Amino acid sequence: MASAVPLSSITMPGHRAPAAGFEAPFEMLGACHERVERMLGLLAKLQQHVLVRGWDESVASAARDVMRYFDLAAPLHHEDEELHVFPPLLAGDDAVLRRVVQRLQQDHRDMEAAWVAARTALASVTQAPPPGWAHFSAPEEATLSGFTRLYDRHLRDEDGLVYPAAQTRLSADALRAMSADMMRRRGLETG
């Protein structure tokens, strides 16, 4: 039998900002990947907790945290990549790298579509579920696990291949413009 997941490991106390700032855009993108991994870890703990212990308020809190991240921050992060990281690689002469970037672009579309279904499953536990509800259904479990799997290869390819390649192709001026745009789209001061 699976062991119980401690309730304290389900919730994320407060919001921790990444150590990197927007003045270092690739470090900020890397910090966002760390946050994605933490949120996906939280999602896995939430699923395990529901399976072993059922619903409680910590499940609702964790579901809201995961939803908030993938509703707000993840789309901005994907847009950062689509606007600033991918274009110089798509314009380059490395056919293998272009194919990887094209697959990453498709991943973004797939993640967006998968998030709709994953969000629906999570939304169902943001409040006490109806009497008789014991756990996520098999299709909901598959949806949540599938959403997590979409990120596995994607993050590795970006961190290990795409980010380093793009960073070498961007001038200091392009990096400053990338930083300013990332801040502007988030409503942060640029001056």
Residue 5 is predicted with a pLDDT of 43
Residue 10 is predicted with a pLDDT of 43
| Mean of all residue pLDDT scores within the chain | 89
Residue 56 is predicted with a pLDDT of 94
Query: CA 99 to CA 89: how far, in whole Å?
Result: 10
What's the CA angle centered on 156, arms 47 and 17, to 5 degrees?
65
Residue 190 is predicted with a pLDDT of 54
Per-residue pLDDT tens listing for the chain (191 residues): 344 444 344 443 333 444 456 788 999 999 999 999 999 999 999 999 999 999 999 999 999 999 999 999 999 999 999 999 999 999 999 999 999 999 999 999 999 999 999 999 999 999 999 888 889 999 999 999 999 999 999 999 999 999 999 999 999 999 999 999 999 998 886 55
Could you write out the DSSP letters of every residue in 20-42?
Answer: S-TTSHHHHHHHHHHHHHHHHHH
Alpha helix positions (H), the chain = 25-53, 57-68, 74-80, 86-90, 95-123, 138-157, 163-169, 172-185
Could you write out the DSSP letters of every residue in 78-97?
Answer: HHHIIIIIHHHHHTSS-HHH
Domains of the chain: 23-185 (1.20.120.520)
Residue 188 is predicted with a pLDDT of 84
Residue 189 is predicted with a pLDDT of 67
Residue 22 is predicted with a pLDDT of 72
Report pTM. Answer: 0.86
Q: Which of 52, 57, 68, 162 is nearest to 107 (CA)?
A: 162
